[in-house]
Amino acid sequence: MRRAAQALEASFLAEMLKQAGFGESRDSFGGGVGEAQFASFLRAEHARALAESGGIGLAEQLFRSLVARAGPVERAP
């Protein structure tokens, strides 16, 4: 569940980075079409690294919420 929560936080952060304009080509000396095509990979990798290093705390909150919703875990004898 923790990995799923981190993945969701990374997706959220990638979208926030996109909206902030992270990875967009500059007007001068831009990389052209190729740079634009791979900008999403750069954003996704940065977002994943942010989420793994603690991020904004969203993954931890999601994880706690999922654990609380799942209830006690029954173990086999």
Q: What is the pLDDT of residues 16-53, one digit of tens each?
A: 998 888 777 666 556 667 777 788 888 999 999 999 99
pLDDT category at 56 given cuts 50, 70, 90 is very high
For residue 52, what are its two tokens? Answer: 């793994």
- Where do the domains of the chain lie? 2-23+32-69
pTM attached to this predicted model: 0.72
- What are the distances in angstroms from CA 32 to CA 5, 8, 26? 35, 30, 9
Provide the H-helix boundaries in 1-77: 2-19, 32-52, 58-70
**Rounded to whole angstroms, how far apart are CA atoms 2 and 66?**
9
Amino acid identity of residue 38, one-letter, is F
